[in-house]
Structure 1
């Protein structure tokens, strides 16, 4: 791909999407002094006596961003000669692109556009969508999107692909359409957007599909997994009177009853999964079961009994036996805690390797004794401890890497808020997890709202003032009312989770077992998120819900592919209906092709897996080229 950018948000959004999906592209920045000039020689050459188009598609800021007319002429000639498609990332409708002047110009916040509105859903680029495309309106005081819906010129070779009305209703006009005039094919976009907006996230893959005709390097899925931490253990409960958590940060002697799932909650989780075609990942701590049995008059923990009975319906991941802190030895005589140091040397005192290994292996032994189908290569330590935690512990516990090596761990869960990138710890790779703002220490709506208000409101409004002290990362809000969970927290967390899903991001989200009991406050959020997704996406693009190791493997593949593209060690071309891809042996290559594509010849095996009306897969290179026969 060739991206010709003027730095505008719309062009950069498309470039960002190409990066997200792993689609290689070159960039020409129009404002740069000394940039390449768009000429016939820049765009094409000859290899072995055969003409070669260097770029499969071109992205422009608009239909003519050049100050030198010769550049547009060279580009237009190139597109006509090779059948190359052009995306006009944002423009004012005109006869030059087959449109009448707009019948409306202004904000589009809050409208619902329609993809595939002309009945081309089965073959159109947005066939992974059901049709509705809601435009965000997150702040009534801010203009978030702007556009120029217009009607095609009578008789113009124009196909509307996405249409929408002005705010308040009325006739719909073209927001995205295909113009086939002048012997070229342009995707015309008449509204502004940025990479973070939901409407662009919904339409972005379709833009990539259109420009490439569905044949490209790159891979796109909608990932969403939920890790439920601390299963079998109790969690401490927030004190609404002390604005603290006993055992964590209370200093006034406050006490609250712990929160632990009940047997009926397991049945509810199983039933919810069945009704929503979804699977939880249970991050478990076996000590919680042993402790509960010891405290029971009959010596039996009924929660364990029911969890074991339903064990085949959940995925299980080692969360260490007793959820011990596995980083430095904590000095809890001060708040916040600090790392204990050797009084003689001043060196940090670390939890030993033997303790870490014991926590891992004891939990695996518990799993084996109870028939839990655990993946022994996965581990999430309690509080993600052992890994660096700023500011108190800026380095990993040096004993963590040898401990995970000794116990066969390959995938190590980390907290995305403090350790977002994938990195190696010994033989293991981290898998960063998104924390959801449904807190570990709450089981009821009132508790969640009270703690949320404490964190996100000013001192004058009865809050902690954390938002005032950290304006770069936290925004103060008006205190939420009793129904603030349903009216504010759930919609906000739904929007955040959906942004991750729309970003081809396999990182899981995590919550706690406390959120599945008593008020079961997790379910309204998940119901909102899943129903919202399924109302927008067609059945051919289901949520991909995978376990931690699969999440980690996808992150590894994405990073390795990005590095290979940067290094220029991969290549591909299309000639006479055959795709040829070359890559180093051992590299996983993301490939997307139309339905009907076959490996090798038109009678070969179908390539890849169906998703979103296309076929795609990570092809594992063996040093020989991959050839694919695409349908005519």
Structure 2
């Protein structure tokens, strides 16, 4: 990542002679970039002395007024220099995913004032501060880099943090020059676009990033990184060290009690290290309690269970040969064995369970030598089940009566086969059709459907915000849940078939040439598992689409979907210690509806400081507000070592609850 940093050289010029080439310290971040030099030259010696004296008196000797804190908003302040830093997008993405309230300040456009931080009477506006870069440098004019804060504004911020005991994090820190070195000495730098950098958690880092797997190093790649050393052995406290002893993350404590968490590598919303470290930074800045929550989700939905799908022919490079595949009873039983093994393999995966969208017509006797229906009937409780209509009929132009019949007949099959993990109010539309068909939606509503799907690859159907969906314009009681497509295609059942079709699209000479060679099966799994891994690391609630062909026990043991989940979990388990949840579509709908209500509620919290601290909550609309790090009420759970309490408030409701020490 390219981001330019600078020093503000503060040596007071005491003679009328232009000084030798003393750097103002603009550093361009590539090994090919040399030190860029700027100079201050203000004219006569007398003028220099006068200006220096004024500057020193105003900005260095005159501190901001101290303030006695009474309360603090449960909200974070994210400060950017010009709004263009990659880490600015990165931290906003993390906060949005968790649901933490925050404000942004683009300092080069909106000046920081005392009123930004508090009302001046003891009411603080922010419980934590996140700076995109350590010096908030931006290019004010061509080749003229300066801090977006004046020295007076830096002092104002520091005074607020000291008075209110508010923590600060600098998300991409060059530790030298103005305004601070954060207790670090710069040694060198690394361009990890070419050579990834690995760093391990220290003892302090393992405590702060307690959800990470300490046995595996954090890999830094795709980001310019400053390699630094702490100025002393005790302060700052390093959190993340390379094998050579360079610190990439550390906490510095100032004499006035302030603390700053400095990260010396760049980031963005898609970089793995940004995702791994982001939650820990937010949690630390917030002192371990905040509005919002995070959990890791994995819900795989292999459509078309009980019916056949076309199969890709690797020789003819087509799926229009008449060949089909429908999983067998043996495939079904092998899938159960695989799922049990996954759940037993690691505590992270103990709750993983596939959700099976089924078409009941397949159990009606239309397939000769049908072993699948008998296998399902004998073991119906191994998976969750979800209606996919009876005959897989497209719903784009279906009539009310026919739509109702498709839903009713499929529901009858669920009862006949003894599905216990099944909710009548949820369904997946064949080919995600019917979203704009009023007749289908009216039939779905009358049948009792409350949760259907959209496809995030189609225009207009991505999540409006993290972990949220859409209420149907035609039937507002129906929530439309976005679902991710996948490159594990509907028409492949073996590694040979999948690899052939994938390379047909993406290898050199393919329809959409992307890679410089034909991928092997292990390379294909690596790339596709990396995509799924991102969903897990982002605490993404969306389910992922697959098809029943992907469940074939191609070697009488393994399946394509199983291989992909195994590859994804291997990466995940090397990084995280958080248990994965596998909510049904019904439960996903409840979670998304709750998140949408939370986002729209106007809920806010204020930490009231006193002999015994408390949190004052209020809302405009009814809400079930999640509070991480708070143990209150009866609706609560422990996740990742933290208690998450869900507080229910009615319209214009208020509530005061105990708060942790501040």
TM-score between both structures, scaled by the size of structure 2: 0.78
Q: Secondary structure at the match of 1:627?
A: strand
**Aligned mates of 2:204, 2:89 — CA distance in 1:** 30
> In the alignment, is residue 25 of structure 1 matched against residue 108 of structure 2?
no
2:501 is aligned to 451
Distance 1:479 1:153, change over 3 A: closer
2:609 is aligned to 575
Q: Using the TM superposition, give the Cα deviation of residue 174 of structure 1 relative to its aligned residue in structure 2, in angstroms.
A: 1.1
Q: Using the TM superposition, give the Cα deviation of residue 450 of structure 1 relative to its aligned residue in structure 2, in angstroms.
A: 1.3
> In the alignment, is residue 506 of structure 1 matched against residue 541 of structure 2?
yes
Q: Using the TM superposition, give the Cα deviation of residue 590 of structure 1 relative to its aligned residue in structure 2, in angstroms.
A: 2.3
Q: Using the TM superposition, give the Cα deviation of residue 354 of structure 1 relative to its aligned residue in structure 2, in angstroms.
A: 1.0
What is the 5 A alignment of 1:436-585? 436-457=486-507, 461=509, 463=510, 465=511, 467=512, 476-481=514-519, 484-487=520-523, 489-519=524-554, 520-538=559-577, 541-564=578-601, 568-576=602-610, 577-584=613-620
**Aligned mates of 1:119, 1:181 — CA distance in 2:** 18
Q: Using the TM superposition, give the Cα deviation of residue 558 of structure 1 relative to its aligned residue in structure 2, in angstroms.
A: 2.4
Aligned match of 1:110 in 196, 202, 205? 196
> In the alignment, is residue 358 of structure 1 matched against residue 410 of structure 2?
no
Q: Secondary structure at the match of 1:191?
A: coil
**Aligned mates of 1:120, 1:398 — CA distance in 2:** 54
What is the 5 A alignment of 1:59-458? 59-65=130-136, 66-94=148-176, 96-107=181-192, 109-115=195-201, 117-119=202-204, 121=206, 124-131=207-214, 132-135=216-219, 137=221, 144-155=222-233, 157-165=235-243, 171-183=244-256, 184-246=258-320, 254-256=321-323, 258-277=324-343, 278-292=352-366, 295-296=368-369, 301-327=370-396, 350-373=397-420, 374-387=422-435, 396-418=436-458, 419-421=461-463, 422-425=469-472, 426=475, 427-457=477-507
Q: Is there any run of 5+ residues in structure 2 with no aligned partner, and where?
A: 1-75, 137-147, 344-351, 464-468
1:343 is aligned to none
Q: Secondary structure at the match of 1:97?
A: coil
**Aligned mates of 1:572, 1:100 — CA distance in 2:** 38
Q: Which moved more, 1:518-527 or 1:224-233?
A: 518-527
1:625 is aligned to 655
1:55 is aligned to 126
**Cα deviation code 1:180-222 (max 9, x no counterpart):** 0242100111111111111111111001001001111111111
Q: Using the TM superposition, give the Cα deviation of residue 502 of structure 1 relative to its aligned residue in structure 2, in angstroms.
A: 1.4
1:341 is aligned to none
CA contact (8 A) 2:603 2:617 kept: no
Q: Using the TM superposition, give the Cα deviation of residue 626 of structure 1 relative to its aligned residue in structure 2, in angstroms.
A: 4.7
> In the alignment, is residue 5 of structure 1 matched against residue 80 of structure 2?
yes
1:614 is aligned to 642
**Aligned mates of 2:481, 2:384 — CA distance in 1:** 16
Q: Secondary structure at the match of 1:150?
A: strand
**Aligned mates of 2:657, 2:261 — CA distance in 1:** 29
CA contact (8 A) 2:358 2:385 kept: yes
Q: Using the TM superposition, give the Cα deviation of residue 432 of structure 1 relative to its aligned residue in structure 2, in angstroms.
A: 1.4
RMSD: 2.1
Q: Using the TM superposition, give the Cα deviation of residue 574 of structure 1 relative to its aligned residue in structure 2, in angstroms.
A: 4.2
**Aligned mates of 1:479, 1:103 — CA distance in 2:** 36
CA contact (8 A) 2:635 2:647 kept: no
Q: Using the TM superposition, give the Cα deviation of residue 155 of structure 1 relative to its aligned residue in structure 2, in angstroms.
A: 5.0
**Aligned mates of 1:569, 1:586 — CA distance in 2:** 9
Count of aligned residue pairs for this structure pair: 541
Give the number of the structure whose alpha-carbon radius of gyration is greater.
Answer: 2
**Aligned mates of 1:516, 1:105 — CA distance in 2:** 44
Distance 1:265 1:428, change over 3 A: same
Distance 1:259 1:172, change over 3 A: farther
**Cα deviation code 1:113-141 (max 9, x no counterpart):** 223x12563xx32101112344365xxxx
Distance 1:201 1:89, change over 3 A: same
TM-score between both structures, scaled by the size of structure 1: 0.81
**Cα deviation code 1:394-439 (max 9, x no counterpart):** xx12212101111100000222211223222312111111122111
CA contact (8 A) 1:175 1:191 kept: yes
Q: Is there any run of 5+ residues in structure 1 with no aligned partner, and where?
A: 138-143, 166-170, 247-253, 328-349, 388-395, 468-474, 600-604
**Aligned mates of 2:315, 2:288 — CA distance in 1:** 58
CA contact (8 A) 2:183 2:235 kept: yes
Distance 1:218 1:133, change over 3 A: farther
Q: Secondary structure at the match of 2:184?
A: coil
**Aligned mates of 1:133, 1:229 — CA distance in 2:** 37
Distance 1:414 1:23, change over 3 A: same
Q: Using the TM superposition, give the Cα deviation of residue 366 of structure 1 relative to its aligned residue in structure 2, in angstroms.
A: 0.8
2:56 is aligned to none
Q: Using the TM superposition, give the Cα deviation of residue 156 of structure 1 relative to its aligned residue in structure 2, in angstroms.
A: 5.1
